[in-house]
Amino acid sequence: MGSMKNLWLMLIISMAIKTGVSYQHLEAPIPSPSYKNYLTDCAARLHPKYCADQTYFDIFYGNETTSEECCKNLHVGVGKSCTDNLIKFVLASSPQFKKNETQIWRRINQIWNGCTA
Ligand SMILES: *[C@@H]1O[C@H](CO)[C@@H](O)[C@H](O)[C@H]1NC(C)=O
Ligand SMILES: *[C@@H]1O[C@H](CO)[C@@H](O)[C@H](O)[C@H]1NC(C)=O
């Protein structure tokens, strides 16, 4: 899969590897291997790669705008519960993003409501 990996996938995989430490720190339950597989699958369903990268920067940094095409792909390919669970996992695993939780949820809601599938 190499070059096909999107930023979401790389983020989820790298966080899944270090969750042992950060989850203990946050006193949250450590996700099971099957839950990690579920999240990896969610992240992999966002196509094409530029849509995955666009939504990633839009949600976590606010310096990109998700196009209508990518918004539709998020609805159709990933779905609401997968998207919310991905965000929750990233926030629980990353103190850096956790600080900006409010903005991040606002942005994901804007993206989510920005198109109809
Ligand atoms: C968090 O929000 C602050 C203030 O809006 C911003 O300066 C900072 O770059 C943000 N951090 C991340 C990781 O997006
Ligand atoms: C958005 O910010 C991130 C983190 O600072 C950076 O890696 C990325 O290149 C930026 N994207 C754009 C389009 O400026």
**Taking the model in full, what pTM does it have?**
0.84
Domain residue limits at 80: 2-113
> Residue 82's pLDDT is what?
95
Which of 16, 82, 75 shows the shortest CA–CA distance to 51?
A: 75
> Residue 92's pLDDT is what?
87
If one compares 22 and 81, the residue with the highest pLDDT of the two is 81
Residues 78/42, Cβ–Cβ less than 8 Å: yes
Q: Please say if the pLDDT value at position 1 is more than 60.
A: no
What number does the ligand 1 atom closest to the CA of 100 have? 1
Please tell me the total count of domains within the chain.
1
Which of 40, 47, 44, 86 shows the shortest CA–CA distance to 69?
A: 47
Give the pLDDT confidence of 16-55 residue by residue, as tens digits.
777 555 555 554 556 788 888 999 999 999 999 999 999 9
User: Residue with the nearest Cα to atom 9 of ligand 1?
Assistant: 61
